[in-house]
Every structure is written in structure tokens, then in C-alpha cells.
Structure 1
């Protein structure tokens, strides 16, 4: 049954008209607000979402009810009015109602050339946009004439088998039908869904009396902004085009003039000072009364000003922060509202360099956007090449099939990283986010020939080592050449906004930091401590990996202890520096986790080098590598299992932690280190490690005579640990859920291989989202909830947190707040995002305490 279009669906926009953005669209509602501020807005009729849907379905619009609000022979415009202007919509149609009679009338008032050009442009727009005729047939000549006009009308009649409509109502009816159908088309639906609009998003239309920008005096169209949309700084920006219709291309017009006085050319302020002053007043009025920075479209005719439209100022992430803070600091909005106005993703953009949105992109291949930011550099294919490039002072992009812990030094030396394999929690992705390195993973369409040191992209082009490329880790695009960038922007507005966020959030935010550099970044971003320090990453720096390899080849416990004795001062120095940087804030140190085979070379060349280093036969090295290999190393001899079977490693690390604690306590505020046991699945594992750690603590106390405290806890990353959390918590001061491995084990899904098919799973709705990117609140979340409840049963005061890559995700933070977790921990560069997300969740809860 077709909907009947009623008078409510065709609403004259007045101060008191019953209108709403979710019925008539944002543009219509904004026009009503401008009218309420007594601005000179031309007569406007708003058509509701429901009416537009009915028109698209074939029902005719009630044209007489619309036209009754305008003069007898009107000139009208129609513009789209959706809920969100970012969702797009059909283009505006102008000068509806222009016909032979109106053309003759305009010839008298405006002159034949101007009137004829106006009429021909209208015929062209109507033929192409409404009648869907071939644009080539309706070319607009440089010098319109009566003969050219007659020829264009004849072409229309020939193509349509009907004369160009002379009735304003008929023109308007066809325009409304065309725009309504365009919105409901499949292509339009897909485009707006890609921008985040719901599939059934409605479109309103506004029919407005044309304010002609043509006249004898100062006349023209313009657009004005009162704040720079890129920087957020106060500035009158815009253009005024004399004797020009109001179009979207005003800024690009060759005839455009300045608004404010400018040495470079004429301005509206000089030619029509009263109209200019009114614009300035209107800008301040909308800012204070509508509590927003707006972009205003206007027309001046013979010096008189008309306001056609007002929209929320399009803005960059940098400008969004500055505008929100400025509105709050000047009392226009509250601090909490300023916090709510900035999207967390906007902060992520500010923390990193980004590809300039206006820059030309030479696209090569797309992968998974694993770590945001952008960088350009010359292609390299190994960690050693990256280090050599950095030593020469040359930026480089490291391309690998997949990275391993052995590549960490190369990653630190690179400007960006690209891998063919992996997902959002693969090694490259985690390290990239941790150190703020732009990273693309899972670029499976990229063909890498490591022997020839070149890549081949899908369009057939090849790039060799040394060629310049750009990595856009925000979008997952690899680009050819060096692309224009926008620098990171951590200004006072950024810091102010986050300080307001900290005033209202109710959950702690820590950082995952593995090195002193990571810890300093965490401090700079105001993290409330370190929630996860992965100590194994420290063993890949410098000569440490050689010591680790020597320890692996030791035959006895004494031999291993002797090698670890040489690592002890290096570990102690690491922890001392971490404690010093964090200045008394908590530091949670995860004991050694990865399987030992990760420290051994893979290729023959590397094995020969190791044999030479250790002065042993190559066969012995090969045999040891084979002995340590596992079918599934992520489920094998790693974490606490290694700590129990090779206890010397954990004993050395515990000693290093306690000796660093003693050293720092002598020079600064006392620290209470948190020692975390990884991959626990049974209470007895905790008991065994606890007894060894306690004995080391007693020994250090006896040797130094210094009292110190520490906390021992567990990283819950196996389903069994979550289920047995009550037993485990009896021996653990804290339970920190490692959601990366917990997701992997819950799903029985390799996080490094999932990228090969995850997009198909998400597209076919097997999973709502990639569970390694967005925390699975149903499955993994239930384990978290059970683990938290049972952990509190075993120890009511147990500290609860998550420290996986989900820690900075808004949904995960919301879940942790609901479960009364104490804090979340995430990569240092996600700390500001997490602080803002947590604050917004707390503010929303205040509004709706349910």
C-alpha cells in the first residue's frame, strides 16, 4: 500500500514549524534554526523522508501544495537533506521554473547574454541530470546566443519527443522524482553504506526560492567559514564570485574574489561592507546560539544579503579537537560535551604523520591497515638492510613475507613495514603499533622475490630494492613514490581535551611497553603505568641474541646459569631504566614467553654463522634447531612451561627485577614491580614459579639489606586459566587477560594465518568482525566474565585488567567497565585514544545510568 503524502510531509520552514532532523533531514532543520535567528533565508519548503520514498516508489508529489508558498512564476532550487551530510546524496538543481517566458523577462532585467546563458545552463542540467540524456548533445558554448538556445531546445525535443517543459510545476515534479530515485538506487545505497549510513537511511528534499546572484549592483554568490577547517584556527575563509549562481565550485572559480580585505585583489568587504559585516555577525551568532562552527552559503544581490544554507563546518581531525576545545574554553559548550564531540579515531590520526588527503595516490596494493600513520622510504628486504639504510640516514620501508622477533632491530630502523602474511595481531602489527611504526600486513596480492630483491604488484609493475614507496598504515595502501604528508599535531588543544577526559573517566589506562623508548612514549601520553612489558623483546637487541643462543646450546643447568649471569646486568639495566622513566608508577613485567626456537636462525647461512660463533660443528647446530622445532610452537614449550622446565631463565629475570627495584628505591620514589607469569593453565604452575621468585626475592633482600615489595600475578590467556581463575587467584595478586592468545585459543584460530580468509568470513557474516581486531564479547567475553567472577571468588581484592591488543578498543573498554576491571593496557600510541574512549563511555553512562 502506497503512503499518502500529507501536508505534514510538505512543511513550510518557519520558526515554529513542526520539524525534526530525523524526519526532514539535517539541512532542513538547520535552515529552520537560521530562520529562528532572524537570518534572511529565502522561502523554503521541506519534504520529508517518507514523502521522498513515496515519490521514488512512483507516487506523484503534491506540486500545488508546494508551489502555493511561492510567487506565481517562481524560480526554485532543490537540495538534498539527509541525516548526515557525509552520507552524500544527489546534487542540487537550480533555476527550476526557468522557461521561455521567464527568459524573456530576465532579458529585460539582466540583459540578453546573461539571461540566455542562465537558461541554457538550466536546460543542460535538466537534460543531463533529470532526463538522463547524453551530455555531449548539450554542450554549453562560450558565447550563448538566441540561435544556440533554439538549437539546444530543438535537441531536447528531438531526444525526448517532447518540448522542453515550460510549466514550473512539471519541471519541479520531474526533478523531485529524479532525485528521489537516485537516492534509492543500488549504487547510491552502497556508496552511503560505505560511509557508515544505514541501508534504509532516508532523504529529505528542500525546495527553496532562488535568490539570484545577478544584478546591476554588487551581486554574486559566496561561501564563508569562520574557522580554518584544516587547523581549527580562527580565520575568515571563503570566496565571493560576482554575477555567479550559487554552486559547489565557488572556491575554484577563476573570477572568485576574497571576502576580507586582501592586498592580492578585490574583496566583498570593500565592495559591500554592510553585507560583509552582516556575515561576520551571523558567524558569531551561529557559533554561540547553535554552539557550532558553521559554513554558510550566501547570495548578495544589489548589496542585499540572503542566506541560502548552513552546514556544520567540514573539518580535519586536528581542527575537530581545536574547535571543540575552543568552544568549551569560551563557555559555548561544557567540557564534557567537548570530550564527546571528538571521535577517538581522530586522535589516532593526530599521533602520526598522515598522507595528505589532497595528494595524488599512485596505488600499488592494499593489505590490512595494522598500524596507523604514513611514511615514505626506499624498499629493503631484510632487517640488516634496514639497519644499514638507517645508518646512512636514509628512510626505508621493510618488506617481508612475515616478521619474526629477529626482525625487531630492522623494524626499529625502518620508516614503515609491509608483510605479505599476518593479521591485526601478528608480530609485525603488534610491534608496529607499539613503536608507532606505520604497518600493512596481509598484503597477499604483493609478489616478493627476496632473491632478486624486488616486488611485483597486481598491475604488472615491478619495484626493486632502493625504489621509493609510501606506506599508508591508516588505510592499508602501498603507494608508489614519495607522497605529500601532513605532520602529527599534538598541540595544546590535544593535551587540554585529554586532561578533561581524565577528569571524568573511571577506569585506568596503562601502556604495553617493552623498551625504555616505549616507556617514555607511554609517559608522554600520560599512561598510568605499564600494563605489559614483554621481556623477550629485550633479548633481540645487540649481542644479546648471541648470548641467548649460547644459553640454548648449554648442556647443563650450571652452563645455562653461567650464560644468563652475563645477561643479568643487561636485564637489570633495562628494568632500572623502565622504573626510572615511570617514576613510581606500576610496571607489570611479563616473564619470558616465546619458544626458544625463535632465537635460532632458520636458513643455512645463519646456522653456519651460529656454528662459527659457538665453535661447534654445523651438524650440532642443525640437530639442536631440529630438536627445538614444534608442530605448533604457540601451543608448545613456551611461557610458564619453559619457566618450569628451564627455571634458570625466570630466576635470572626475577633477580634483575629485584636488583633494579633496590637501585631505584635508593634514588627515587619506591616502586612495587608487578611480575606476571605467562600462559598459565594450572594453579600448580603458579605455585612452582612463586616459590622460586620468592626465594630469589629473599636472596636479594639478604644480599642488599633493603626491604622491597612486589606483586606476583598471572596472564590469563588460556581458556582453562579463565575457568580455573578461582584457584589461580589464591596465589596471584592480579589477573591480566591476554586477549590476543585467549582469542586464538578460544577460536582454535591462528592469528597469523587468519588474514587469508577473515575478510570472506566477515563478508559472509560468519563473524561480525575480525575477532583479533574487535573483542568477541559473546565467546571470548564470556570467558573474561567467568574469569573475573571466579578470580574474585578466589581473592576478593584481585586486580583485573586486559593487556591484549584489544585494550584500546572502545567496545573492549566498555566491557571492562561493565565487569568492574581496574584498568586496560594497550600500545603506547593507543593510550590517548583509550583515555578519550573511556571518558566518553563514562559520560554516556551519566546520561543514561541504565
Structure 2
């Protein structure tokens, strides 16, 4: 006979059925209450309904599992017996709180109902038993308001309006409080509370169409329903999406004996942190509100007191709290977020959890705790999150400008690259370059960007687009530069002719100043004040520990010496992707050279045009090799289709024809010839080198001649020439042979020996499937997982934004846990990657393998790369520290057997 499932866990009387390690089942709050009970801290008794029930509740169309009701009744009786009170008793009632508690902290996202068990009779019993009628009535009005708004969807503002009306018409008049001075909740007396309760009940009946429930069992199950329903509330779903919280069952429900902070001046409630969550300093940090319940602190109804004031007014309870602080931080070995209540001088602990902290505080606390002997270096590394690192490097809007931000808000889009930027609006890349050259800070506003815009994007402080998602061109390029970027502002209408954009009645013209908050996707009028956080010394200490521990190497995606230098400062150990086509856009002279090659009729004309590009490319490579002295540099040969390099508008074509001194019809004819129905699958990558080998010749010459020049200067160079978009062994073989012929001839002419490698990007599924054959000639593989994801899943990273959110939205479908363009699809695309590594190394055991798509800077994807045996990951310069952290975490987790 199968064992009966256990859905409810009890804690109280110094004993608990659960413990602090059971967060997945009991939620963070339930696990914390159980653990604090077990170690002897003053915790009110209660029980926890598990997260498994929440999961079953949604799986079974909001029906509870069989036996739950009986189990809850059994544990309620156990609670009543322990405290000697009965729920709803008209003489001496037990009151309980019903609170949510997910395995991962989601503060404020789900619901809590306090003072449950009060009704018209039990409120009188509570008044008699405590000798404090005002307290009893205050607790009842709170319960009606919370139950009505949370469990029954009565608009909260209706209760607030009624309370304000009582305070203004009765309390102010009775106490003769001057206009302009706020009437406090605690000023309201018994008579006024009675009138308020009566009005609250009428509001409830008007909306719910029945009287406020007097049966405590009905109240209890109504509250339990409300907590479970809040798991899928819009704000909770959005929070999990933003925080990338996936794979958890749901919320637990905690039913806990009420303790009262609203019994007068010797009572109160508070929230505190065992260390300063803003700075990480080892100081006790928090607020205390006398004569109040927990909701008052969170809601900001009254200004709370600092802990120092609490110490002065109630030294005994404060001393207890200090002792609890020490016990819990030592016990959990982490900074704790505590909720407590003082009832008539006695301290009760209501919650402990790992406290949320700023990025600066995260590093300081982690390193300090290692130095204090509380945790190991490995534990410290595991505590840092990727977003903690990101938060250290991006400029942010000075938060002191709350009113200005509210007044100047324009629109909200998708937060593609965090941080903030201010500047004058321009609508073309050319203007961005020109204005920036004059020392002007600009924001480039486009419908969407293309490779043609790269120069302007680099010159701009930030980028704002009307379309696209987090992996659109604008987002990918901006992320590489750590440049603030907001995409997908669909409410924004751009008029290039009028040089303006509109959002409703708001019009922003060229030259107007705006501010982007890339961390939230918000756009504001005017230039807001920005501040740039400075990484604390603990950041460098912890990253040094990461480098000592990790196996996986970390390179960067960089196309210029400037990018390469930035990446080195971030800890990069080489370049895993240098995109040569980006160099073509750097100046007008370069653009003209590539464009004249494209419109040329003959091989000779193309070679002549490429000869003009050769010195530019060579100088670029010299600059990069110098910065990366002694480190490997992987250079990808030209990848985009040629149509991306020519103007598509008639005006642009006329200008190009004039500059090249050729008929405009010839330019238009050539542009028309280059148009492709699906350029992603068209004439690009190695296919260009098969058709136009002269392009390959020029690029290989530039690479090897640069390597020779640097070697003569005593610089160590390790070039790796990468052929993109290969899908067949013979295709690669033809190009590999030509690369070596060109390279070896130059080395022979210079009488030099330079070690160089020739390899390929694995970004076509067929290449992954035939990896063993391709590895017969390729010396290295680099996975281009952007294209590999597109081709494997049949998704366009630029267009999928129209429907992909529905696939990720757990409320709609929950098909994907994350955007596959941001975090690698390990089940599908990852299977191809794993196959290609195994097949490739079956032919060439020492095959060097890395990844250079956007996934190289995503922590979960980096851990996958470690697991499947890659040698390195490559990512944008500003994501290098994230990859270093994730690589170290992967090594630690592997040793732990996770």
C-alpha cells in the first residue's frame, strides 16, 4: 500500500517537522520558520502547506489534492491545542496570519492576510481578553480590508478612501488637528473604528454581494485560495520572468499564530538586515514601527524609527534581537533579512531569509565572510549572480531624481542592455558620427539597426529602436560595447522625413535631449543625472579566486583594438571572434572600397578595389595583435551577404554612383541582383569565398602580413583563421587549402615561421552532424550558436519577438523556460553541440573547441559549455567577468556532484 502523501508540516513548541534545507518543498518562509523553531528562537507556532499542493492545484484546474482538507484541519487542531486557543472562539480567539512563501524570495509579489479568525463575536472576546478594545477593533478593520481586497478582489482604494474619510471628518475634528498635519492611523479611537468597520462591511457586501464571512473555516480557505492564486498573478509572473526564476513548483502557504505589534507603545513591528544591504558593511540595519503590524512598515503608512531608536525605547527586546542577529548569521552563514514583532515587550521572529543586496554589497559580504571564516572561497563564488557583476559596470540614473523621472517619462520598451545614457536624438548613423566628432553626446534612434549603422552606433551614447528583441542586431552589437540599448518600443512612431518620433501626444525632435534607462527599458525627456558605480576592491579579490578555480578559458568578441583593450581589462584571455566585416564600415574610404568591389564587373576590378581595403585591414589586425600580445586571436572571414554593404534607397544609390563615377543604373542593377528572399540562408559566409575567392585572399593576406609585422616588433601572435557557415567537408577543404597557400607564401617571402590555425564555425546543423569529417581538416571548432539556434529551431532572432514571448510566458504556455537566443536551448541545440564535440574529437582528439555566439556570456550556457568539454567561451567584452564567474561556478558545482 502506497504511503499517504504529506502536504502539511507543523512547527511550534521548540520542534519542527521541516528544516531550513527544505525550501523547495516548504518555501523560503516555511523553511526559515521551521529552522528558527528548531534552534530555539522565539517563533509563533503554525504549519506550512507545501509547494507541491500549489503545483497540484494548477495541474488539477484549481482543485486541491485528496486529503488536504483533513490534513489542514488536523494541524489546525494541533495548533489550537498547543496555544490553548480556538480559531473563532468568541471568548479567547486564536488568530492566524496566512502568508505566501516561494522557494526563491519574491518580496511583495504574492499575498499575506493577517488577523484571520476575527468576526463580530470573536472581536469582542479579543477585546475583553486583552483589555484593549481599540487594539481588537484595529485588528478587525485590518482583517476585513486585507481579506476583502486580497481574497475577494474588492478594490483596496475603496477601503483606503473610507478610512481617510473617517480620519478627516471625525478624528481631525475630535483632536483639533490642524489642516496640513497628517492624521495618523493610531489617532483613530474605538468609536471611529467601529464606524469604519461598519463601512468596510458595506463596501465588502456591495462588491461581493454577500456579507463578510463570520465562519473562520470559510475565512481560512478563502485566504489559502488567495495565496495560491497569487502565484499566477501578473505581478508575480512578471517578477519571475525578469528574475529568470524557473523550475519551481509554486508557493507554499504558511498559517501562523498571530502576534500583535499594534497593542500600544510597548509593541511594534520591524524589518532588519544583519548587514547593510546597500554597502555590505557589517552593521545592523533596519527599521522599527511602534504600535503597528507588518503591513504598515512595507506600505510606508508612517515613517519608521531606526534600530538605534528601538534600542533606546525597548532595550530588552533590542538586546534579544541583536542576539538573534548573531545566531542566524552564524547559523546560515549569510546576510539575513529578518521580520520581527514585539508584543508588549516580548520579541517574536516572523521570518528569516537570505537578504537581497546591491551588487557592491554582494561582493563585500561574500569576501568579508570568507575573511571572517564563515564561508569558503568556493561558497563565496557560488553566491554571486551574473546581474551582480553587470550592476557594477553600467552607468545608472541617479535615483534621487524621482519627481523628474515621473514628470519626464515618455515610453517603455525592452531592456536590451542595462545601464543608462543621455544625449541628443539623431536618426541616422552618419549624423551620430558627425555630431559625436564635434563632441556632442547623441542617442541613435532607429526603426531597427543594420550593419551599415555600426559606425553611428559606436559613436552614440545609447541606442533606441522601435522594433527588435534582446538579440536583435541593435542589442547584440550594443551589448558588445556595454552600450545602453532599448529595443522594441512599439508605441514609438518614427518619421525620418520630419526627423522626429512620437509617442501619443509627445513629440521628440532631432537634437532634443533624452535619457535611456536600459535596466528598465524606460525613456525620459531631458538629460537626467547619471552616476557610475565603482567596483569595490572585493570584486577584484573574488574574480581572482574565480580565475584560480575555473578550467574553462574566457575570450572575447572584439573587432577593434579599443574593444580588445576593454576586454583585457575585464579579464579576457584572447579573442574568440573578430568580425572582419565590421571594419569595413569604420570610415567612408573603407565603405567606398568595399562598395566599389561589390559593383565591379570583373575579377580584375574586384581585386583592384580589394587592394584599397588591404592596408586598412592589415592595420586593424596589427592593432589587435599588439593589444593581445601572446594571446590567441580568432578572426572570422567575411560573413554577411554583400547586399548589406550597399545602399538600398535611391538617394543613397545616386550618391554612391557619383562617388564611384559610374552610372546610377549600374548601381541599381547590381543592388537588385544582390537582393535575396532569405539572406540568412543565402549567399554569405564561406559561400562568398567559394564565389569570390579574391575576398578570402585579401583577408588572409591582411592577417598574415599583420602577424609578420608584429612578430618583427617582438609581439607574440597566435592567429586563428575561421571560415564561417561551413556545411560540408569538401567546401571547407577547398577554402582551407587556399588559405594555407596564401598564408604560407607570405611567410616564405618574409622568411618567417608563425604558428597559425585554420578552423571553422559550427553554425549549420549539417556541419554539426558531419563534424567528424570536417574535423579531418579543421584544427578548431567555434560554435556560432546564434545561427545554430535559428537554423535548428526555425526561428528568426529578429522576428521571433512577435510570438516568442507567448512561448516563454508561463501563464500562456511555458513551452520554453527562457529565450533560446539568450540562454542556450540545451535540450535541442545543445544536443547538436554535444554531438559535434564528440564526433569532432573522435577524428581529431586535440581539436580546440569554443563558442562565440551571444550564449558565451550567459551563465547557464557557460556552465553547459564546461560540462560538454569545451576549451573556452567567447563573449562581449563587458560580459567577460560573467563568463569567468560562471566558469568557476561550473567547476565548483562539478566537484560538489551537482
CA distance in 1, matches of 2:38, 2:248: 33
TM superposition shift of 1:436: 1.2
Q: Deviation per CA, 1:641-698, whole angstroms, max 9, x where unpaired?
A: 3224333332222222222222322344522211111222333333333333333333
Contact 1:516 1:574 (C-alpha < 8 Å) held by counterparts: yes
Q: Does 2:275 align with 1:227?
A: yes
Deviation at 1:33, TM superposition (A): 3.5
After superposition, residues 266-665 of structure 1 pair within 5 angstroms as 267-273=309-315, 275-299=317-341, 305-354=347-396, 359=402, 364-457=410-503, 459-481=504-526, 487-542=532-587, 543-665=589-711
The 8 Å contact of residues 396 and 517 in structure 2, kept in 1 or not, is answered as: yes
Contact 1:808 1:825 in 2 (8 A): yes
Distance verdict in 2 for CA 1:765–1:79, change over 3 Å: closer
Whole-Å Cα distance in 1 between the matches of residues 38 and 797 of structure 2? 56
Where does residue 29 of structure 2 map in the other structure?
A: 27
Q: Work out the CA distance in 1 between the residues paired with 2:864 and 2:248.
A: 27
Other-structure match for 2:830: 781
The Cα shift of 1:30 comes to 2.2
Shift of 1:221: 3.7
**CA gap 1:257/1:581 in 2 versus in 1, 3 angstroms:** same
1:816 aligned partner: 865
Residue 14 of structure 1 is matched in structure 2 by: 14
Q: Alpha-carbon deviations, 1:774-822, whole Å to 9, x = none?
A: 3333443343334333323432322122222222234433443343222
Partner of 1:843: 892
Contact kept, 8 Å, 2:625 with 2:717, in 1: the verdict is: yes
Q: 1:236 to 1:588 in 2, by over 3 A?
A: same
How far residue 189 of structure 1 moved from its aligned partner, in angstroms, is 4.8
Q: CA deviation at 1:534?
A: 0.4
Task: Give the distance between the partners of 2:774 and 2:459, measured in 1 at CA.
Answer: 41
State the 1:609 CA deviation: 2.2
Q: 2:124 aligns with which of 100, 109, 118?
A: 100
Measured in 2, the distance between the counterparts of 1:42 and 1:770 equals: 42
Q: Compare 358-367 and 562-571 and name the one that shifted more.
A: 358-367
Question: What is the Cα deviation at residue 67 of structure 1?
Answer: 2.5
Alpha-carbon separation, structure 2, partners of 1:701 and 1:155: 92
Distance 1:573 1:5, change over 3 A: closer
Note the aligned Cα RMSD (angstroms).
Answer: 3.7
Partner-residue secondary structure (3-state), 2:306? coil
Aligned position for 1:91:
112
**2:781 equivalent to 1:735:** yes
* Pair 1:27–1:555, CA change in 2 (3 A): closer
Paired with 2:510 and 2:485, the residues of 1 have a C-alpha distance of 18
For 1:357 and 1:411, locate their aligned partners in 2 and report how far apart those are by CA, in whole Å: 27
Q: 1:566-594 deviations in whole A, cap 9, x for unaligned?
A: 33332222112211212211100111222
Distance in 2, matches of 1:614 and 1:297, equals 73
**Structure 1 residue 828 corresponds to structure 2 residue 828:** no
Question: More deviation in 593-602 or 407-416?
Answer: 593-602
Residue of 116, 120, 128 corresponding to 2:145: 128
How big is the shift at 1:765? Answer: 5.1
In the other structure, the counterpart of 2:101 is 82
Residue pair 2:7, 2:68 contacting (<8 A) in 1 also: no
Which residue matches 1:181?
225
Q: Please state how far the C-alpha of 1:180 moved relative to its aligned partner.
A: 0.7
2:274 counterpart SS class: strand
Aligned ranges 1:747-758 → 2 under 5 Å:
747-758=793-804
Aligned-residue offset at 1:540: 0.6
Q: Which moved more, 1:524-533 or 1:122-131?
A: 122-131
Q: Deviations over 1:442-482 (max 9, x none)?
A: 4444322111122233x454332233434343444545555
Distance (Å, rounded) in 1 between the aligned partners of 2:815 and 2:37: 48
Q: Distance in 2 between matches of 1:148 and 1:16?
A: 42
Structure 1 residues 102 and 491: alpha-carbon distance in aligned structure 2, compared to 1, 3 A threshold: same
Tell me the TM-score normalized by structure 1: 0.87
Preserved contact between residue 237 and residue 259 of structure 1 (Cα < 8 Å): yes
CA distance in 2, matches of 1:634, 1:12: 63
Q: CA deviation at 1:518?
A: 1.5
2:855 aligned counterpart, secondary structure? helix
Unaligned runs of 5+ in 1: 108-114, 162-168, 261-266
* Partner residue in 1 for 2:81: 68
Task: Tell me the secondary structure at the aligned position of residue 890 of structure 2.
Answer: helix
The answer (yes or no) to whether the contact 1:95–1:122 under 8 Å persists in 2 is: no
How far has the Cα of 1:833 moved from its partner? 1.8
- Post-superposition CA distance 1:116-161 (Å, at most 9, x none): 5423322211222235676255665335445435544655787899
Deviation of 1:519 (Å): 0.9
TM-score (norm 2): 0.82
Shift of the 813–81 alpha-carbon distance from structure 1 to 2, 3 Å rule, reads same
Counterpart in 2 of 1:111?
none
Maintained 8 Å contact 2:11/2:37 = no
CA contact (8 A) 1:365 1:477 kept: yes
User: How far apart in 1 are the matches of 2:235 and 2:691?
Assistant: 57
Give the equivalent residue in structure 1 for 2:748.
Answer: 702
Q: What residue in structure 2 maps to residue 675 of structure 1?
A: 721
Asked if 1 retains the 8 angstrom alpha-carbon contact of 2:116 and 2:220, the reply is no
SS class of match (1:451): coil
| Contact 2:262–2:291 (8 Å) recurs in 1 | yes
Q: How far apart in 2 are the matches of 1:421 and 1:297?
A: 44
Gapped regions of structure 2 (runs ≥ 5): 55-63, 86-91, 172-186, 206-212
Partner of 2:823: helix, strand, or coil?
Answer: coil
The structure-2 alpha-carbon separation of the partners of 1:340 and 1:771, relative to structure 1 and needing over 3 Å to count, comes to same
* 1:147–1:549 Cα change, 3 Å: closer
- The answer on whether the counterparts of 1:325 and 1:497 sit within 8 Å (CA) in structure 2 is yes
Contact 1:377 1:396 in 2 (8 A): yes
- SS of corresponding position for 2:648: coil
1:795 aligns with: 844
**How many residues get paired?**
824
Q: Is the 8 A contact 1:42 1:209 kept in 2?
A: no
Q: Where does residue 165 of structure 1 map in the other structure?
A: none
Query: Which deviations, in whole Å up to 9, do the C-alpha atoms of 1:58-110 show, x marking residues without a partner?
Result: 77845553233225636745251523341643224149667335435655xxx
Equivalents in 2 of 1:298, 1:721: separation in Å?
60
Task: Report the equivalent of 1:210.
Answer: 259
Does the 8 Å CA contact 2:269/2:297 hold for their aligned counterparts? no
8 Å contact kept, 1:399–1:417: yes
Q: CA deviation at 1:245?
A: 4.3
Do the aligned residues in 2 keep the contact of 1:5 with 1:51 (CA within 8 Å)?
Answer: no
**Kept after mapping to 1: 8 A contact 2:289/2:297:** no
Determine if contact 2:576/2:634 at 8 Å carries over to the other structure.
yes
